[in-house]
Structure formats: structure tokens, C-alpha cells
């Protein structure tokens, strides 16, 4: 995060991903001061939850980005 101008609003730990649902994601988005531009995903950390979490983001109309794509090294 030190190499970008991106701020993180909420984090869901890997051991709680199975409980992350549409309602919780709506609440997290709604409690941000400004509507987030995208949902930042630790792709490797999502393991078996990848398809479900990306589908939730799509359903809510928010872009899902992988952490590795957040910045490019020079």
C-alpha cells in the first residue's frame, strides 16, 4: 500500500471468507465515506472462495481487482 495512492476501507480475514455474504459486503460498502472504486482481492488467499466472491462483486456492480494488479513495478 505504500507504493500506491489507494486506501483500504475494510478487510475480511481469510479464515472468515466462508461467512462473507452479499449482506455483509453491502454493509461494508455502505459504511465507507465514499463509494469504493473497486473491491481489492488477495487472489491466492481466496482459494476456493474466488468464484463466489467475484460473483458477489459483479452482482453489486463493483469491479474486482487482484492485489497483484494494483501497481506495476518500473
- The residue extents of the domains of the chain are 14-69
By residue count, the chain amounts to 74
Q: What is the pLDDT along the chain (74 residues), one digit of tens a residue?
A: 667 777 788 889 999 999 999 999 999 999 988 889 899 999 999 999 999 999 999 999 999 999 888 765 54
How many C-beta atoms surround the C-beta of residue 25 within 10 A?
Answer: 19
Q: How much is the pTM?
A: 0.79
Alpha carbon separation from 43 to 30, 33, 59, 74 (Å, rounded) = 23, 25, 19, 22
Phi, psi of 43 (to 5 degrees): -55, -45
Amino acid at each position: 500500500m505504500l507504493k500506491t495512492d489507494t486506501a483500504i476501507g475494510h478487510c475480511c480475514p481469510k479464515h472468515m471468507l466462508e461467512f462473507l455474504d452479499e449482506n455483509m459486503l453491502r454493509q461494508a460498502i455502505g459504511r465507507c465515506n465514499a463509494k469504493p472504486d473497486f473491491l481489492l482481492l488477495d487472489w491466492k488467499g481466496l482459494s476456493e472462495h474466488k468464484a463466489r466472491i467475484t460473483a458477489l462483486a459483479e452482482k453489486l456492480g463493483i469491479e474486482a481487482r487482484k492485489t497483484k494488479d494494483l501497481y506495476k513495478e518500473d
